[in-house]
Amino acid sequence: MALRTNAATIWLTGVSGAGKTTLAVALASRLRETHVPVEVLDGDEVRAALSPELGFTKPERDQHIRRVAWVSRLLTKHGIVVITATISPYRSIRNWCRGLLTPFVEVFLDCPIEVAEGRDVKGLYARARAGEITTFTGLDDPYEPPDHPEVYLRTDKDSLDACVKKVIEHVTVNRLTFVGRPGR
């Protein structure tokens, strides 16, 4: 028999290269060690599966984020902790997600563009600077940092382990401690 899980959506936001996917995978691994049912919704993977027809204009980005939020809502309704790793550059759509998803933990991965660009294994920043990609967040399209994220991380200064601990500390202090399923 499964124990009840206090599910939530942990929404990771930041520019490309800030460390969202890396943090999501590490955080999910830590939660799974305690048998917490968890799912990572990586923005690039969800876009490929659910939003391949969408481009990168503001309305299209917002539509993509609405889809990620809707899937998050379905999963949390069934007791699964959801960790999203999406740029989600606009405050208005993140605030819309906050209204849809309860509990909602916004985690801002703050990272200077220069550092994020140095981490870019896909070469997206180079392509954007060469004019091959337009509306690239942080360069020719804005990234609007959260006004009051529940968790603020400096991924250029803090270690991955420190970032994971900070997120877990926040959910624990705020009584979102997740209860795992025995024997799984």
Positions annotated as catalytic residues are 88
CA neighbours within 13 Å on the CB side: how many for 50? 17
Euclidean distance between the first and the last CA atom of the chain, given in angstroms as a whole number: 11
Look up residue 74 and give its two tokens: 């379905």
In angstroms, rounded to a whole number, what is the distance separating the alpha carbons of residues 150 and 138? 22
Beta strand segments in the chain, E: 9-13, 38-42, 81-85, 104-110, 151-154
Contact residues for 158 (Cβ-Cβ < 8 A; gap 6+): 166
CA gap 33, 86 in Å, rounded: 24
CB neighbours of residue 103 within 10 Å: 16
Closest CA to 151 of 111, 88, 109, 89: 109
